Amino acid sequence: MKIGILGSGFIGGTLAKTLSAAGHRVKVANSRDPRTIDADVLSTGAQAVTKEDAVADADVVILSIPFCGITALAPLLAGLPAETVVIDTSNYIPARDERIEAIENGQADSAWVAERLGRPIAKAWNSIYSVTLKEMGRPAGHPERIAAPVAADRDRDREVTMALVEDSGFDAYDAGTLADSWRQQTGSPCYCTEVTLADLPEALAAADLARSRRRRDLMFAVYQERFELGTNPGRDFIVGLSRILNAA
Ligand SMILES: NC(=O)c1ccc[n+]([C@@H]2O[C@H](COP(=O)([O-])OP(=O)(O)OC[C@H]3O[C@@H](n4cnc5c(N)ncnc54)[C@H](OP(=O)(O)O)[C@@H]3O)[C@@H](O)[C@H]2O)c1
C-alpha cells in the first residue's frame, strides 16, 4: 500500500521502518525539512518528504505526532478522498497536553480527534510502548507475539488497519468502534502491558475509565520524575509499572 506517515519520532519512525520492510511504499514527514529525518528511519526504503507529499496519493495516512498538534492537521487532511484510511496513534495526557473538556467529560480521545478532523479515522498502536514497538515485533504465530487493539467505525478502515498492525509484528484485535476506544487509552489494562492476543479481550473488558485516568496520571507523574532526574525509563520499567498498576 502507499502509506504516508506524519511524524518521524519514536512511533512514526519505527512504523516507517517496519512497514517499508514489510513491502509497503512509505513516505514520512516531520514538522521540519525532510532532510532532518534520521537516516535510520529511512534505512528500509521509506522516503523523506514534506507533509503535503506524504499525504498526496496515499492509501493510508498515519498520524504519529503529539496529541496537541493533531487538530492543526485538519486543513492538510481535508482534501483527502473519503476512502483514505487515516490512523491515529495518539494519546491524550492532560498533564502534558492542553486540557480538553469533551474528553474530560467522557468522549474517547480518538472520537474527539475524528470530530476535529471532520472525517472517520482508526485508532491503533497507541497502546504499545515505543521500545516495545521497535524491539518486540514478532512473526505471525510466534508464541510471545504481543497484541494491539484496533478501533474504527468503518469496516474497511478496520480491515486495513488490522492488516498493517499485523505487518508491524503484532497481533491485531478488533476492539470495536472509536466510541469504545477509551478501553485502549492510556492507563487502561492493555496500555503498555504487552498482552498477548489470548489476554487482550479480557484486558479490554476489564477497563474502567475512572481507574484508567488515575493510573494514567500516576504513570505520567513517575515518568516526569524520571525525565527530570535525567533518566529515560526503559522498557522493563514502563511495562513493569503499567503491569503493577493494573494488577488485579
Ligand atoms: N512514545 C510512545 O511510547 C508512544 C506510544 C504510543 C503512542 N504514542 C503516541 O504517538 C504519537 C507520537 O509519539 P512519539 O513518541 O513518536 O513522538 P515524538 O518522538 O515526539 O515524535 C513526534 C514527531 O511528530 C513530528 N511532528 C510534530 N508536529 C508535526 C506536524 N504538525 N506535522 C508533521 N510532523 C509533526 C515531529 O517532528 P520534528 O521531528 O520535526 O519535531 C516528530 O517527528 C503521540 O501522539 C503519542 O502520544 C507514543
Tell me how far the alpha carbon of residue 89 lies from the centroid of ligand 1, in angstroms.
Answer: 9
Give the pLDDT confidence of 80-122 residue by residue, as tens digits: 999 999 999 999 999 888 899 999 999 999 999 999 999 999 9
State the first-to-last Cα distance of the chain, in angstroms, to the nearest integer: 41
Measured distance CA(151)–CA(219) in Å, rounded? 24
Which atom of ligand 1 is found nearest the CA of 70?
31
- pLDDT grade, residue 233 (50/70/90)? confident
CATH fold for domain 66-245: Rossmann fold (3.40.50)
**Cell 499485523 found at:** 166
CA of 108 to the centre of ligand 1 (A): 20
Among protein residues, the one with the nearest Cα to ligand 1's atom 20 is: 9
Q: Which three cell numbers stand for residue 103?
A: 474528553
**Is 1 a residue whose pLDDT tops 90?**
yes
Residue 67 has which C-alpha cell? Answer: 496529541
pLDDT at 247 over 80: yes
Extract the C-alpha cell encoding 81: 478522498
Considering only CA atoms, which residue is closest to atom 46 of ligand 1? 90
Ligand 1 centroid from CA 11, angstroms: 7
pLDDT at 230: 81
pLDDT (tens digit, 9 = 90+) per residue, 130-153? 999 999 999 999 999 999 999 999
Spell out the domain ranges in the chain: 66-245
Compute the mean pLDDT over every residue in the chain, rounded to the nearest whole number.
96
Q: Which residues contact 188 (CB under 8 A, 6 or more apart)?
A: 127, 182, 203, 204, 207, 212, 215, 246
Best residue for ligand 1 mutational test, from 5, 17, 30, 110 (most atoms within 8 Å of Cβ): 30
* Rounded percentage of the chain residues whose pLDDT exceeds 90: 93
How far is the centre of ligand 1, averaged over its atoms, from the C-alpha of 141 (Å)?
30
